[in-house]
Amino acid sequence: MKNFRIEDYLADLSHIVSIDSGTFSEAGTNAMAEFFKKRYEELGLRAEISWQDGYRPAPFLTVSGGKISGKLPAGKDADILMIGHMDTVFPDGTAAARPYSIDGAGHVRGPGCLDCKGGILLMYYLIKCMMAEGEIGFSFIIGLNSDEERGSGYSRAKFEELARRSGRCLVFEPGRAGGEFVRHRKGGANYTVRCRGIAAHSGVCPEKGASAILELARQTDAIYREWFRPADGTTVNIGRFNGGGDGGAVPDYAEFTVSFRCMEEKVFRKFDRYIMSMGDDGRRFDPRCAIEVERRTVRPPMAPDGRVEEMLALLSEAGGELGQTVEAVSTGGGSDGNFISPCGCPTLDGCGPVGSCMHTEDEYLEIPTVEQRLDIMRGMLLRMFPVK
């Protein structure tokens, strides 16, 4: 891409990777927001930082610019919504303990280098370079949040608002390890199930007790037998199971967490009804136990449609000219694209650079894929919105 220098990109990446912006780090997430706000304002674009409910560790940066293409449906004012997140999963101190570096294989390493700092920086350079060449034939909104790694509880409503205003969405989460884009993400939810039984002496009068552990163990078996169907993309996982105490007492309390994933919205709705009614009469194995279920986070599926396939076809055309093969996959992991797609905004994910080992100390970004992604995204956008 003209006007792009990988040296500039890597210098900026080094700077933002050195910022500890863990999902609860107020100083770090706000430093990230200020960095990108300044950069976009230097391009002459409108940039604003906001905080949902005044929660300071979760700034949301909104940037807008370009010109409406004339292809937008009624009621929308942005041809393209581009999103990514500024937070990481790593605590304060990680950037100093494991600083930015480039290894002998040409891989950038450092906390968040791939997920998602490399992607949101690529987004900035895509807009910057296309503006410099007079190639922005579309209106756009950029949305960067700071609570993605814990479910986007503060930013979901903002993303849904932007989605309803936008014709299409590009998500700059990392590309898959083989360079694939993402056309489909599973949806699902996380729950906590709590059970209260009746304590009793386990040797003298166990029949007077109602074991909370036994009740939830039976519920666990029932959940897996009915809902663990990986062949059709439906999975369930009991991530934590706690309860009981001294072996001499029938345990009167236990709890577990449940993570559910599926490909279709109708499957999620069915499971949600199933688990939320676990405490009803007839659902408990021991009616003396009381069960309550807390629904903690929900991500609807990011489902593909014909307009996503159109974007992929244009990507393939651009890739053909560049010697790049375009493939798109379905994945079980979620992103903020899961909130965009159900609002009627077709969403293509995995638009960021390629690498691997996200959320671990081995995370890395493959440097050659930065320019590859820039070139192919530019090619797609120019095909969608030719400059006259």
Long-range pairs for 21-24: beta carbons < 8 A, 24 or more residues apart? 21/86, 21/87, 21/88, 21/112, 21/146, 22/87, 22/88, 22/89, 22/90, 22/91, 22/92, 22/94, 23/57, 23/87, 23/88, 23/89, 23/146, 23/147, 23/148, 23/149, 23/150, 24/57
Residue with tokens 């999963």: 89
CB within 8 Å of 180: residues ≥ 6 apart? 327, 328, 329, 350
Residue with tokens 């036994």: 214
What are the pLDDT digits (tens) for 185-218? 999 999 999 999 999 999 999 999 999 999 999 9
**pLDDT recorded at residue 246:** 82
- Distance between CA atoms of 190 and 239, rounded to whole angstroms? 10
- Domain annotation for the chain: domains and CATH numbers: 6-186+301-384 (3.40.630.10), 187-298 (3.30.70.360)
In this model, does residue 117 exceed pLDDT 90? yes
What are the pLDDT digits (tens) for 72-102? 888 899 999 999 999 999 999 999 999 999 9
* SS3 category, 211: coil
- Distance between CA atoms of 93 and 90, rounded to whole angstroms? 8
For CA atoms 210, 189, 261, 226, the dihedral sign is positive
Q: 31 and 21 in contact (C-beta within 8 Å)?
A: yes
**pLDDT recorded at residue 288:** 98
What are the pLDDT digits (tens) for 275-326? 999 999 999 999 999 999 999 989 999 998 899 999 999 999 999 999 999 9
- Distance between CA atoms of 194 and 290, rounded to whole angstroms? 8
